[in-house]
Amino acid sequence: MQQTSPEIGGMGHSIKRKEDMRFIQGRGNYVDDVHLPGMVYGQMVRSPYAHARLKSVNTEKAKQLTGVLAVITGEDLAKANLAWMPTLYFDKQMVLATGKVLFQSQEVAFVVAEDRYTAADAAELVEVEYEELPVLVDPHKATDPASPILREDREEKSNHIFHWEVGDKSATDKAFQDAAVKANVHAVFQRCHPAPLETCGCVADFNSATGKLTIYMTSQAPHAHRTLFALVGGIPEQNIRVVSPDIGGGFGNKVPIYPGYVCAVVASLTLGRPVKWIETRSENLQSTGFARDYHMTAELAADRDGKIQALRVKTLADHGAFNAAAQPSKFPAGLFSICTGAYDYPNAFCEVDGVYTNKAPGGIAYRCSFRVTEAAYLIERAVDVLALDLKMDPVELRKKNFIRTDKFPYKSPLGWSFDSGNYEAAMNLALAKIGYAALRKEQEEKRRKGELMGLGVSSFVEIVGAGPAHTFDIAGIKMFDSAEIRVHPTGKAICRMGTKSQGQGHETTYAQIVAQELGIPAADVVVEEGDTDTAPYGLGTYASRSTPVSGAATAVAARKIREKAKKIAAHLLECSEEDLDWEPGKFFVKGAPSKSKSIQDIAFAAYTNIPEGLEAGLEAVDYYDPPNLTFPFGTYICVVDIDKGTGEVKVRRFVAVDDCGNVINPMIVDGQIHGGLTEGLAIAFMQQIDYDESGNVQGGSFMDYLLPTAVETPYWETDKTCTPSPHHPLGAKGVGESPNVGSPAAFVNAVVDALSHLGVRHIDMPITPWKVWNVLKEKGVVS
Amino acid sequence: MIPPAFEYLRPSTIPEAIAFLKQYGDEAKILSGGQSLIPMMKLRLARPAYLIDINRIAGLSYIKEEDGHLKIGGLTREAELEHSPIIQSRFPIIRDTAHVIADPQVRNLATVAGNLAHGDPANDHPATMLALGAKVVTTGAKGERVIPIEDFFVTLFTTALQPDEIVTEIRIPLPPARSGGAYLKLERKVGDFATAAVAAQVTLDGSGTCQHVGIGLTNVGPTPIKARKAEAFLRGKKPDEATLRQAAQLASEEAQPSADLRGPAEYKKGLVKELAYRALSRAVERAGK
Amino acid sequence: MALRIEKTFQVSEPVEKVWSLLSDPAKVASCVPGAQITEKIDDKTYKGSISVKVGPSVTDYKGEVQILRLDPQNHEVEIQGKGQDVRGRGSASMTMTGKLAVVDGGATQVTSISEVNVVGILAQMGSRVITEVSNIMFDKFTQNFQELLQQQPTGQPAAVVAETKPEPVEAGSIAWQAIKQMFRRLLQAIKNLFSGAEERS
Amino acid sequence: MAKKQLVRVKVNGRERQAEVEPRLLLVHFIREVLGLTGTHVGCDTSHCGACTVVLDGKTVKSCTMFTPQADGCELMTVEGLMQDGKLHPLQEGFKEEHGLQCGFCTPGMLMSSYALLQHNKKPSEEDIRWGISGNLCRCTGYQNIVKAVQYAAGKMELGGAK
C-alpha cells in the first residue's frame, strides 16, 4: 500500500480525531440533548415481579394529574395490534404487558406528560394489580416438568427455545474414545450488561401535517430500525426518518428495538407532539439487552505429547423471557462455533440449547461479534486445563497446536475459513515483551516462599465483519454495508455510510480511507452517518463490522471515483489513460512526473471541463458484500499477584499483542484496545447481573453492577503484529472487540495459574476476593 | 431518577433549624451533604415533605485544636478533612478514613457529622471515631449534649440523636506522644461500602508497651463495633507480631457480619482478622515514629 | 430475596400455657409492633392496610394475614402475612411456624421458623441489610413473646382471652403488627442504603 | 405544588436567575433551564460523574443536588472551559492524547481534572487516577485520560493557563 504524507493522512497515520472538537466543548448532540418545540416526556411503569398474572391496570388517578396527556397500557396497544413486537431473532416480545409479566422491570404502562417530573409523579399513580406466580431463574431447571411454562403465547408449551449443533459428532466421539488424554472444564460466562454510559432513549416526532415520522434514537443500526418500524407499524418507509445523533457508547446495547421506542412513537402518533423517552440507568440495566449467560462445558481430547485431536462443547444458553438476541438469522448461537480457537485439529462437535427464564430478554453481542467472546473464553480456558492435566506449560501447548501459517486459508472443523493468521508471531512478541521465562522463574521462587503469583495467556481468534450476504442476514436483511462519496468541485469531499459510530471515531477513520485512496487530505473529508434520509442503506455498527464492511465499501467507492478521475486526467493532460500513473493525490504521465493533475484539479474539471461522453460530477456509491469474514487474533499475557489475607487479585502487568491486519489509525486502535481490555477486566472480576430465587435483579444499578474506575484499572501495554486480510480491499480486519473477546481468559487463566499448584483448575467469573479466599480456605492456605 | 415534591426551608441559625424540626417533626428531614438522602429521594424511597437545608448556617465548618481536643464542625466536609494539615500530621487515621469514603465529588459535599448521624454500620467514620474515643456534640431544643461515641450507635441505622437534635461538633481527645492510628478498608471498587474495614489507634509508652488501644470495625454487624476484647487483650502488652495476630483474632470474633453480595459471613470475619492485624501493625509503626 | 430465620428459646411456663398464647394469632402477632386492619374475612383471615412511615421513607401496603395451620396435638401453628406496596413497587410476605416442646422440669422450648420473602425494589436495593434487619426483628419478637408470657396469669385458658372481647379489628391490628414491623425495618434499611453505594452524609 | 424558589447563580461568568420547583435537580436546571447540555446524566445512584460541575471551586455531582442549594453560588460547566476562543489546555490534552471516544463522560472528566489541577499542579499518575475516580468511562480504559491530564499539567506549567 502506498504511504501517504502526514498532510494527506491516509492509512497508518495517527491523526487526531475530527469529532473531538464538539465533545471537548460540551457541544455533542446526544438524544437527550434534542429539544423540539412542544416536546413532551414519556415514563415507563414497570413490573416489580419476575412472574405474575396481570389482574388489572388502572390509569384513572394518573390521568387526572395535571400535565398528564396520556397513559398507554398493553390493552390499548392490543387494539392497534401493537402489544407485541418481533424481536431480531424469530421471537416476539411484549411492548407493554398483557396477560402476565415475565421478568422484573418489564414494561407495563407508558405515561406521557408535559415534563419529566410530572411524568414520574404520574407513573406512581398507575395502579396495577398482580397475582404472583412461581418464578423460574435457573436455566438448568427450564425443562423440568415441575417448572412453570413461561410463554403461554407460544404454540410449543415448553421453555426450550432451540437446539443447535454443528460438527461431526460421531468422528468427534470416536476421537474421544481413542484419546490418551481428556481434559474438561465447566465454565459459566455470567450474565452481564454492556452499560454504555449513555442509556437508551429517543425523541419520536410525528408531523401530522406532512405525515412524516422522525425518530431521533440511540441506534447502532438506524436503517434496519427504520425498516422494522415500517414493517411493524405499517407506516410507509419513505415517511419514516431515523436519526442516530451522537451516541454515548453502544457495545451492542443499542442494536435491539426496545418497548420504550415503540411507546414513544405510538404516543407521538396519538398526540401529534414530539415525545421524548430516556431510560434511567436502573431501567437500562434491568430491562435492555443483556449479554452472555452461557453455561458451557468443553472437553478436549489429546495425545500424550499434547497434540489436540478433538473438541466437544455442550452449552446451555439463558435467553430470559424473550429471545431478543440480535444476531444473524442462520445462527441461533451466533458465531459460537469459532470455539475451536487458534488450534489445528480434525474433529469438533458443538451443541447449544436455548431456554426461557424469568429474566430480562436479550443475548446481544456485548462488544463482541455474536457469542465470540464466550467461544474464545471457553477454548482458552480449556487449553489451560489441558496444559495442567499434561503438566505442560500453557505456552508450549498452544505453540504445539497453533494453525501453521502455511495452512491459511484454514478450514476449521466447524466450517469456517480463517482468512489469514500468524499466531506464533503474536505469541512470541507477547512473550518477549513481558519476559515470560523470567516471570516463570519468579513464580517458582514465590511459591517456595508461599506467595501467590500467576501468569495467564490467551491466544484468541475472532471472527468479525459479518458478513457474506449469502450466509448472513439480520431479520432477513442481508449483511452488506455501504458508502457514498461525493467529491465537490473544489476537491473537498463528503462521505456517508450505512454504519453508525458510537465512539469508534468513524468521522476520522473513514476520512483516512478516502485520503488513502484519493489523496484528498482527511481534513477535507466530512463523514456523515446515522440519518436514514441522507445516508445509504446499511446494517449498522456492531460485531466489528464497520471497517471490514463499510470500510471496504469506502475504499471500493473511492476506487470507482479514481477510475473516473483517471479519464478526466487523461483528458486534461491530453494523453491516454494507459500513459498515466497514480500516486496519492495526483495522476502523472509515466516518466514525466511534472506533467500531472492533482485530484483537486480533476474534481474541478469534473464540473467545469468534462470530456466528451463522460457524465458530469465525481461521486460513487458502493454496497459491499464481503467474500468472507475477517479473523483478527492476538496473544494477551496477564500477570497477577494474589493477596492471601484478603483474596484480592492485583493485575501487575498486562501485555496485549493484537493483529488486526492493516491499521487505519494506530492511535484509535490503541484506544479501542485500552477500552476493550478494561471491559474484559470488569467482566473477569466485577460485572454480573444476577437474580435471586424470586427473580429480583441483583446488580440492577451502579451500586452493585460494578464498573471499574481509573483506580481499579491497570496500565495496559499494547503492541501489534500485522497479517493483512487477503480479501479485504485494505487488508484490514477490525479491532474494536478483540480486547474484550481475548482478555477474560487471560485474567482467569492468570488467577487459576497462581493457584494451580494447590489443585485449582477453574474459578467462575466474576472472580471476587471472597471467591478466591474461599478457595484458599478449602486448600488450607488460610485458616 | 425524579424526586417527589417537597417544601424547601433554609434556616440561617441553629435555633431556626431546630424550630423547623420541632414544627414539622418527622415530616421534615435535615439536608446537610445530602449525598445519601438525595439518591434515596430520587428513587422515591424517601419522600420528606420538608427539607431543612442547614448548609447556610454560619460557623459550623471548622477543624481546630482546642482545650485538649480536635474539634470538627458539624458541616465540615470530608474533603476538608482529607486535605487538612492538622489531620494529615496528627491524625493520619482520619485522613486514611476520609480518603476512602465515596469519591472526590461526594467528599466535597458529604459531612463527617452526617456520616456518624446516619447510624449506618457500613459508614467509615464510626469505626475510626470508636478507635479514637471521640465525643459527639448535639444541639437541640433542650440545649447541648455531649455523647461519648460508644453510646452513640444504638442499633441498625439508629443513633442516640433525638428527632429535634442536630450534630454540631465532633470532639476527639488529642492523642499523647507515641500515638498512631490507621484505617484499612477492603471495597469492591472506589465508592463502594466496605466489605469490611478496621480502624486501629494505639499509644505506646516509653518501653514500647501498648498503653492505649482503640479498635473499631466497619460493616460487620448491626452497628459499628468497638472491639473491646481485642483492645483489652493488647493493652499493657508489647505489640509483637504474635500478639497483634492474637488481638486480630479476638477482633474477628467480635464481628457479627451477615452475608451479602460482598461475600459470606465467614469471609468477612476472616477479612476482619487480616485487616485488624494490618491496621494494628501500621498504627504501631506510626506510633513509633 | 428469601430468608429463613429460626429462633429457639426456653420458658419456665408449662407447655399448655405457652400453647394458649402461641395458638392465638392475635397474641403471637402482638409480639411485633403494630398496624391497621380494615376487614375481617373469617376467623382465620384479616385484610388490612399499612402506612409505613420511617423517617423520610413512606410506603403504603395492602394485604392479608392468615392462620394456615393450627395443630393442638403437636402444639404447632402456622401463620402467614402478605402485603403489596400500593405504589406497585413490590411485596413482602412471611410464613411463621411456631412449635412447642416439653423439656425437663415442666419448662417449654419454643421454636419459631420463619420464611421471609421480599420482592421488588427493596430486594433489589436492600440485599445489603435485609438479613440484618430480619434478625433484629425476630430477636425482638422472641423477647416480646417471653414478656407477654410472663404477663399471663398461669393456667388461664385462651378462651378467657376471648371473653375480654378481642374485636377482630383489635386482634387483626395486632396480628398486623408483625408484617408492618417487618416492612418498617426493611424500609428503614433501604432508606439508609443510600448512604448508598457510597457512604455519604 | 411546592413553593417555587428564586435561584440566582453565576454560570460560566454570567449571572442567571430563575424561579424553580425546589426538587428540580441541579443537572436539569443546567441542561433544561439554562440550556447547557454539555453536562450529562449517566446514572441514577450518583456513581458515574457524567453530571460533574464545579460549584464555588469544588466538583459536585449536579444530579445529587437540588437547584436551590446552588443559590448565590458560582457554577462552572464544560461550556465555561474555553477562554476567549482558545481551548483550555485540558481540552487540548484530551484531543491530543485521544482521551475520549464516545464523548459522553468527557465533560464530567474535564471538570474533575480541572478541579484536580487547581490544587495539584503536578499530579502523579496515581493522583490523577484518584482524582477522576468519581467519573466512569466505558470507552478509554482511562489510560489516555491520564495522559491528557498530564499533557495539560505540563502545558499549564509553561503557559500559566488556569
Calculate the average pLDDT of chain C. Answer: 71
Which architecture characterizes domain B63-173 according to CATH? 2-Layer Sandwich (3.30)
Residue C177 has a pLDDT of 47
User: Fold for domain C2-193?
Assistant: Alpha-D-Glucose-1,6-Bisphosphate; Chain A, domain 4 (3.30.530)
Share of chain B above pLDDT 70, in %: 100
Q: How buried is A79 (Cβ within 10 angstroms: 0-12 exposed, 13-18 middle, 19+ buried)?
A: exposed
Question: Is there a contact between A749 and A381 (Cβ–Cβ < 8 Å)?
Answer: yes
The answer to whether B110 contacts chain C (CB < 8 Å) is: yes
Q: Let me know if A220 is a catalytic residue.
A: yes
Q: Which residue has the cell 489441558?
A: A386
Angle of CA points A467, A471, A475, to nearest 5°:
85
Residue C156 has a pLDDT of 44
Is A152 among the domain residues?
no
Question: Is there a contact between D20 and D4 (Cβ–Cβ < 8 Å)?
Answer: yes
A275 DSSP β-pair partners: A40, A204
Closest residue by Cα to residue A742 from A773, A770, A760, A716: A716
pTM: 0.95
As a whole number of angstroms, the distance between CA B22 and CA B24 comes to 6
The answer to whether B45 contacts chain A (CB < 8 Å) is: no
Question: In this structure, what C-alpha cell is assigned to residue A214?
Answer: 422522525
A313 with A427, same domain? yes
Residue C181 has a pLDDT of 52
| Band (C178; pLDDT cuts 50, 70, 90) | very low
Query: Which domain covers residue D46, as residue numbers?
Result: 5-78
A297 with A283, same domain? no
Q: Let me know if A502 is a catalytic residue.
A: no
Closest residue by Cα to residue C134 from C121, C124, C123: C123
Residue B182 has a pLDDT of 98
Q: Would you tell me how many other CB atoms lie within 10 Å of the CB of residue D89? A: 25
The answer to whether B63 contacts chain C (CB < 8 Å) is: no
Q: Do D2 and B104 touch (CB under 8 A)?
A: no
Question: In this structure, what C-alpha cell is assigned to residue A709?
Answer: 474506575
Residue C58 has a pLDDT of 61
Is CATH 3.30.420.40 the classification given to domain B7-56?
A: no
A27 CB neighbours in chain D (<8 A) are: 38, 79
Q: Do B188 and A686 touch (CB under 8 A)?
A: yes
Q: Let me know if A327 is a catalytic residue.
A: no
Of all residues in chain D, the one with the smallest CA distance to A36 is D32
| Residue C54 predicted with pLDDT over 70 | no
Q: Do C197 and A128 touch (CB under 8 A)?
A: no
Nearest to B8 among D5, D41, D59 (CB): D5
Could you report the per-residue pLDDT of A538-569, keeping only the tens digit for each? 999 998 899 999 999 999 999 999 999 999 99
Of all residues in chain D, the one with the smallest CA distance to B4 is D23
Q: Which of C58, C119, C128, C194 should one mutate to test binding to chain A, selecting the residue with the greatest count of A CBs within 10 A?
A: C119
Of the residues A606, A624, A642, which one is the last residue of a structural domain? A624
The active-site residue, picked from A312, A367, A371, A381, is A367
| Residue C171 predicted with pLDDT over 80 | no
Show which residues on chain A lie within 8 Å of chain C, measured between beta carbons: 45, 48-50, 104, 124, 126-128, 130, 132, 286, 692-698, 700-704
As a whole number of angstroms, the distance between CA D154 and CA D137 comes to 23
User: Fold for domain B179-288?
Assistant: Enolase-like; domain 1 (3.30.390)
Closest residue by Cα to residue A501 from A244, A766, A277: A244
The answer to whether B264 contacts chain C (CB < 8 Å) is: no
Task: List all residues of chain D from 70 to 109 with a beta carbon under 8 Å from chain B.
Answer: none
Q: What is the CA A293 to chain-centroid distance, rounded? A: 15
Question: In this structure, what C-alpha cell is assigned to residue C135?
Answer: 434478625
Total domains in chain A come to 3
| Residue B88 predicted with pLDDT over 80 | yes
Question: Is there a contact between A216 and A343 (Cβ–Cβ < 8 Å)?
Answer: no
A732 DSSP β-pair partners: A661
Q: Let me know if A2 is a catalytic residue.
A: no
The CATH number covering residue D148 comes to 1.10.150.120
Instruction: Report the b/e string of D149-161 with b at 16+ CB within 10 A.
Output: bbbbbebbeeeeb
Q: Which chains touch D (3 or more CB pairs under 8 A)?
A: A, B, C
Which ranges of chain A have pLDDT less than 50? none
Q: Which helix or strand (DSSP H or E) is residue A186 part of?
A: strand A181-192
Calculate the average pLDDT of chain A. Answer: 97
As a whole number of angstroms, the distance between CA A503 and CA D101 comes to 4
Could you report the per-residue pLDDT of A113-138, keeping only the tens digit for each? 999 999 999 999 999 999 999 999 99
Of the residues A287, A311, A345, which one is the last residue of a structural domain? A287
Q: What is the three-class DSSP state of A514?
A: helix
| Residue C34 predicted with pLDDT over 80 | no
Of all residues in chain C, the one with the smallest CA distance to A51 is C119
Closest residue by Cα to residue A206 from A148, A275, A112: A275
The CATH number covering residue D67 comes to 3.10.20.30
Q: How many CB pairs below 8 Å do chains A and C form together?
A: 60
Q: Do A702 and D45 touch (CB under 8 A)?
A: yes
Question: Is there a contact between A518 and A601 (Cβ–Cβ < 8 Å)?
Answer: no
Nearest to C132 among B35, B41, B222 (CB): B222
Question: Is there a contact between D68 and B121 (Cβ–Cβ < 8 Å)?
Answer: no
Question: In this structure, what C-alpha cell is assigned to residue A514?
Answer: 478516502
Strands (E), A488-563: 493-497, 525-529
Angle of CA points A653, A659, A664, to nearest 5°:
110
Residue B65 φ then ψ, to 5°: -95, 130
Spatial CB neighbours of A337, under 8 Å, sequence gap ≥ 6? A166, A167, A350, A375, A414, A415, A416
B41 CB neighbours in chain D (<8 A) are: 23
Total domains in chain D come to 2
Spatial CB neighbours of C131, under 8 Å, sequence gap ≥ 6? B258, B259, B260, C3
The answer to whether D33 contacts chain A (CB < 8 Å) is: no
Could you report the per-residue pLDDT of A646-683, keeping only the tens digit for each? 999 999 999 999 999 999 999 999 999 999 999 999 99
A769 with A686, same domain? yes
The complex's ipTM works out to 0.94
| Residue C164 predicted with pLDDT over 80 | no
Distance of residue C111 Cα from the nearest chain A Cα, in angstroms = 26
Of the residues D55, D78, D101, which one is the last residue of a structural domain? D78
Instruction: Report the b/e string of A450-461 with b at 16+ CB within 10 A.
Output: eebbbbbbbbbb
As a whole number of angstroms, the distance between CA B178 and CA B205 comes to 7
pLDDT tens digits in sequence order for chain D, 162 residues long: 689 999 999 999 999 999 999 999 999 999 999 999 999 999 999 999 999 999 999 999 999 999 999 999 999 999 999 999 999 999 999 999 999 999 999 999 999 999 999 999 999 999 999 999 999 999 999 999 999 999 999 999 887 665
Of all residues in chain B, the one with the smallest CA distance to C195 is B36
C200 CB neighbours in chain D (<8 A) are: 46
Of all residues in chain B, the one with the smallest CA distance to C130 is B260
| Band (C188; pLDDT cuts 50, 70, 90) | low
B191 CB neighbours in chain A (<8 A) are: 709
A303 with A436, same domain? yes
The active-site residue, picked from A200, A339, A350, A368, is A368
Could you report the per-residue pLDDT of A464-476, keeping only the tens digit for each? 999 899 999 998 8
Q: Which of A129, A694, A696 should one mutate to test binding to chain C, selecting the residue with the greatest count of C CBs within 10 A?
A: A696
D71 with D105, same domain? no
The active-site residue, picked from A43, A93, A104, A220, is A220
Q: Do A692 and C1 touch (CB under 8 A)?
A: yes
**Using H for helix, E for strand and C for coil, what is the string for chain D?**
CCCCEEEEEEECCEEEEEEECCCCEHHHHHHHHCCCCCCCCCCCCCCCCCCEEEECCEEEEHHHCEHHHHCCCEEECHHHCCECCECCHHHHHHHHCCCCCCCCCHHHHHHHHHHHHHHCCCCCHHHHHHHCCCCCCCCCCCHHHHHHHHHHHHHHHHHCCC
Is A279 among the domain residues?
yes
A453 with A334, same domain? yes
Q: Which chains touch A (3 or more CB pairs under 8 A)?
A: B, C, D
As a whole number of angstroms, the distance between CA A167 and CA A414 comes to 5
Spatial CB neighbours of C8, under 8 Å, sequence gap ≥ 6? C109, C110, C111, C112
A68 DSSP β-pair partners: A113
Question: In this structure, what C-alpha cell is assigned to residue A326?
Answer: 440480535
Question: In this structure, what C-alpha cell is assigned to residue A524?
Answer: 477535507
Residue C86 has a pLDDT of 77
Of the residues D49, D78, D107, which one is the last residue of a structural domain? D78
As a whole number of angstroms, the distance between CA C27 and CA A77 comes to 50
Residue C101 is given by DSSP the state: E
Question: In this structure, what C-alpha cell is assigned to residue B233?
Answer: 487483650
As a whole number of angstroms, the distance between CA B83 and CA C113 comes to 51
A672 with A745, same domain? yes
Q: Listing from the earlier edge strand, what are the strands of the sheet with D5-11?
A: D14-20, D5-11, D74-76, D52-55, D58-61
Is A211 among the domain residues?
yes
Distance of residue A687 Cα from the nearest chain C Cα, in angstroms = 15
As a whole number of angstroms, the distance between CA C137 and CA C185 comes to 8
Q: Do D43 and A17 touch (CB under 8 A)?
A: no
Could you report the per-residue pLDDT of C106-128, keeping only the tens digit for each? 899 999 898 988 888 878 876 77
Amino acid at B212: H
Question: Is there a contact between B106 and C200 (Cβ–Cβ < 8 Å)?
Answer: yes
D18 with D59, same domain? yes
Nearest to C119 among A127, A694, A698 (CB): A694
So where are chain B's domains? 7-56, 63-173, 179-288
Question: In this structure, what C-alpha cell is assigned to residue C15?
Answer: 407447655
So where are chain C's domains? 2-193
Q: How far is CA C10 from CA C14, C103, C142, C145, C157, in A?
A: 11, 9, 10, 11, 20
D11 with D74, same domain? yes
D128 with D101, same domain? yes
As a whole number of angstroms, the distance between CA B249 and CA B265 comes to 15
Of all residues in chain A, the one with the smallest CA distance to D24 is A117
D68 with D96, same domain? no
As a whole number of angstroms, the distance between CA D30 and CA A462 comes to 44
Residue C136 has a pLDDT of 73
Q: Which helix or strand (DSSP H or E) is residue A185 part of?
A: strand A181-192
Question: Is there a contact between C166 and C28 (Cβ–Cβ < 8 Å)?
Answer: no
As a whole number of angstroms, the distance between CA C168 and CA C172 comes to 6
Q: Do C200 and B115 touch (CB under 8 A)?
A: yes
Q: Do C123 and A694 touch (CB under 8 A)?
A: yes
Q: What is the three-class DSSP state of C21?
A: helix
Residue B225 has a pLDDT of 98
B38 CB neighbours in chain D (<8 A) are: 46, 64-66
